[in-house]
Amino acid sequence: MTETVIEELTTPTLDDGDHDRFAHYVRKSDIVKANVEGVEVVALCGKKWIPNRDPAAYPVCPSCKDIMNAITGKG
């Protein structure tokens, strides 16, 4: 059994005018690493960015949501 830990929901760090404003699912280990090392995280959908925004204001990325549903068996 493969251990998959996906607990954190975070968002891209994009400037005003960018249409890709979604909250993406990211592995917690990636979040920790990003916080410590300042490196990019990789969302379930494959999006990469350096997190620094509050995720509360954004809808969940549809691609991430589909993948998360597949992983958790929900949906």
Provide the binding-site residues for Zn ion, judged by CB under 5 A.
24, 43, 45, 61, 63-64
- Let me know: does 24 contact 36? Beta carbons within 8 Å: no
Q: Please, which residue, 29 or 62, has the CB nearer to Zn ion?
A: 62
Strand bridging mode 24-26 / 48-49: unpaired
Give me 17's structure tokens: 């005018």
**Minimum gap (Å) between residue 61 Cβ and Zn ion:** 3
- Let me know: does 49 contact 13? Beta carbons within 8 Å: yes
Q: Please, which residue, 31 or 45, has the CB nearer to Zn ion?
A: 45
Q: Which residue has the tokens 């995280």?
A: 41
**Minimum gap (Å) between residue 15 Cβ and Zn ion:** 18
Q: Please, which residue, 10 or 24, has the CB nearer to Zn ion?
A: 24
